[in-house]
Amino acid sequence: MEVLTPAMMTKCDQETIEAGYPEILLMESAALGTAKLADEVIKEAMIYKKRDKIEITILVGKGNNGGDGLAAARILKNWGYKPKIILSSSRDELKGVNKKNLELAVLNKIKIYQFPDLKKEKFLAEINNSDLIIDALLGTGITGELRGNIKKIINLISQEAYDHVLTLAVDIPSGIIGKTGNTAGEALKADYTATMAAYKRGLILYPGRDYSGEVQVIDIGIQKETIEKYGDGLKIFNQQEAKKLIPYRKNYGHKGDFGKIAVLAGSRGMTGAPLLTTKSALKSGSGLVYLLISEEIEALTSSQLEELVGIPLPSQKGIIAEKAFEKIKQFSKKVDLLAVGPGLGSNTAVQKIIKNILEQLNIPLVLDADALNVINDLKLLKNYQGELILTPHPGEMSRLIGLNISEINNNRLEIARDFAKENNLSLVLKGAATITAASDGRTYINSSGCNGMATAGSGDVLTGIVSSLKAQGMNSFEAAALAVYVHGRAGEYAAAVESNYALTAGNIIDNLAAVWNELT
Ligand SMILES: NC(=O)C1=CN([C@@H]2O[C@H](COP(=O)(O)OP(=O)(O)OC[C@H]3O[C@@H](n4cnc5c(N)ncnc54)[C@H](OP(=O)(O)O)[C@@H]3O)[C@@H](O)[C@H]2O)[C@@H](O)CC1
Ligand SMILES: [K+]
């Protein structure tokens, strides 16, 4: 499903209106979708009152977001509810379709307050007595920091209302910037968001994602082709996408048909990481997984996992030695993919080996952790002869491109997309709302995951899943995006039992089976 910026959304609106679809009809569809979601939300919240006793407060700004709210008030009144409107401004400041919808609300005898006329106590009492708030103060037309009455309203509700009242945002929570997900100083937290025509970036980038609650996309009559035309290839990766992509397994396959993987990982003191990667690959459908590892710890790691085939490599002080490359090169001919990095160490021998791999091999490569830490020349990536998938966290990305972590976090989307394009590879930029970018500009933002997954070894598990899916024949970008989703979903399952506090990387692996079952 497409994710747009406000500017892209405006172009879609404009083209649709110019094609002859009246603006007021778009607004009516937006309002109908909002009212339907409000009706569902009220049912779900089990408010045991007759409809005409259910207090719905609709906060209305001067722009079209407010217009959506005004029209929704009329529809809800028609369905027997008791909506009331609080305008952020005086009535005469509304123009065009918004003025029209205000007149219709008056005609339908809906109670209308003007915020400037309300005493603070009265306003707070209205909010506190509400069963549902519909937030139609600000949508995609927000500019700059919050100001004026809208700032006062949002501050009062956020800071002085008794408790959180069930809230449904129209299009986007007011105060969230649609392009970035940042707040304009403050924002109204929603439990649900009815968003028009397509996701807005601000609903899935943090912190906006935390303000948006459950998001429902409302079809307001804008054609899918229009949305695709003005979008920039950014999509949200959810269960629907996952189900479409999951690799088919034929009933008469043998273990070689499901991908042979070699994992080059581990060093003295780092025996957990290679095990997490190999185990998660085996738990993601791979037929055969080899672990290429320092001879010093090979017996130890191999004894931990029955299904694993351990291949000892020459080493020095527990880290693979430069001369290990010949064996890696020979071995790479036997497999479909090489996954490199978890717990490998990062001395000059490792650096030389990674350089040699990138210069001399041509099989699909997944590079993570220490494999990324030793790359000091991006040309090595760009010139690699095979397919490449990189899975850095913001710290590794920072090292790779020489920006600091906060610069990366403030511009995750563009940075991931540009890097993947410039270096002709698939990139997974990890972190909350992981981004997967393809060399051709397609980009996914992941929808699954939870904060408990920020734990040691979580990335090693992801490397195993990505490698497994790629070796099963998927294209690199889709394998990476599906792996990120599956990893996040397994984390959600794990957290449901373990809590986000107690979740460990091993729990993610333990819950992979539940995700594969859910998707097939
Ligand atoms: N286009 C369409 O066809 C359709 C659009 N749709 C809907 O329209 C929404 C977009 O509507 P929009 O463009 O009118 O902007 P909107 O979000 O209401 O905000 C503008 C108002 O906010 C004010 N304001 C701005 N920044 C502020 C701040 N920081 N702090 C305080 N105030 C601030 C600004 O005031 P001003 O700067 O003029 O004083 C102005 O009054 C979109 O989200 C969707 O819900 C749907 O109906 C489908 C059809
Ligand atoms: K809103």
The ipTM, to two decimals, is: 0.98
Rounded distance, CA 73 to CA 81, Å? 9
Atom of ligand 1 nearest to the CA of 143: 26
Residue 273: CA atoms inside 13 Å, Cβ hemisphere, count? 25
Q: Exposed, middle or buried, 446 (CB in 10 Å: 0-12/13-18/19+)? A: buried
Map tokens 């929603």 to a residue.
190
Residue 18, Cα to own-chain centre: how many angstroms?
33
**Where do you find CATH 3.40.50.10260 in the chain?**
3-232
* Fold that domain 3-232 belongs to in CATH: Rossmann fold (3.40.50)
Residue 91, Cα to own-chain centre: how many angstroms?
39
Sign of CA dihedral 182, 393, 412, 489: negative
pLDDT of residue 129: 95
Q: Exposed, middle or buried, 18 (CB in 10 Å: 0-12/13-18/19+)? A: exposed
Ligand 2 centre and the CA of 141: distance in Å? 10
H/E element holding 410?
A: helix 405-410
Residue ranges for the chain with pLDDT beneath 50: none
Probe target for ligand 1 pocket from 12, 26, 64, 74, with the most ligand atoms within 8 Å of CB: 64
From the list 34, 216, 61, the residue with the least C-alpha distance to 132 is 34
Number of H helices, E strands in the chain: 23, 21
Probe target for ligand 1 pocket from 10, 142, 152, with the most ligand atoms within 8 Å of CB: 142
| Cβ contacts of 47-54, under 8 Å, gap ≥ 24 | 47/131, 49/131, 51/79, 51/80, 51/81, 51/82, 52/80, 52/81, 52/82, 53/82, 54/81, 54/82, 54/131, 54/132
Rounded distance, CA 104 to CA 135, Å? 19
Contact 86, 115 (CB under 8 A): yes
In the annotated binding site for K(+), the residues are: 65, 135, 174
Contact 231, 8 (CB under 8 A): yes
The total of other beta-carbon atoms located within 10 Å of residue 54's CB is: 20
Contact 350, 374 (CB under 8 A): yes
pLDDT of residue 13: 96
Q: Which residues contact 263 (CB under 8 A, 6 or more apart)?
A: 274, 277, 278, 281, 289, 290, 291, 292, 338, 339, 340, 342, 464, 467
Rounded distance, CA 468 to CA 277, Å? 10
- Nearest residue (by CA) to ligand 1, atom 24, is 142
**Where do you find CATH 3.40.1190.20 in the chain?**
243-519
Q: Which residues contact 288 (CB under 8 A, 6 or more apart)?
A: 255, 256, 259, 260, 261, 309
Rounded distance, CA 182 to CA 189, Å? 13
Contact 70, 97 (CB under 8 A): no
Ligand 2 centre and the CA of 153: distance in Å? 13
Residue 111, Cα to own-chain centre: how many angstroms?
40
Which residues lie at CB < 5 A from ion ligand 2?
A: 135, 169-170, 174
Q: What is the pLDDT of residues 77-90, one digit of tens each?
A: 999 999 999 999 99
Would you state the structure tokens that stand for residue 64, as one six-digit string? 């079209």
Helix, strand, coil % over all residues of the chain, rounded to 5: 50, 15, 35
Residue 312: CA atoms inside 13 Å, Cβ hemisphere, count? 12
Note the ligand closest to the C-alpha atom of 190: 2
Rounded distance, CA 340 to CA 370, Å? 8
In the annotated binding site for (6S)-NADPHX, the residues are: 64-68, 139-145, 171, 273, 343, 393, 460
- Nearest residue (by CA) to ligand 1, atom 1, is 13
pLDDT of residue 255: 65
Rounded distance, CA 142 to CA 200, Å? 13
Query: Any residues with Cβ below 6 Å from ligand 1, and which?
Result: 13, 23, 26-27, 30, 61-68, 138-148, 150, 170-171, 184, 196, 220
Is the bond into 207 cis (omega within 30 degrees of 0)? yes
The total of other beta-carbon atoms located within 10 Å of residue 183's CB is: 20
Specify the CATH superfamily of domain 243-519: Ribokinase (3.40.1190.20)
Collapsed DSSP state (helix, strand, coil) of residue 291: strand
Atom of ligand 1 nearest to the CA of 175: 29
- Backbone conformation region of residue 490, classed left if phi is above 0, alpha if psi is from -120 to 50, else beta: alpha
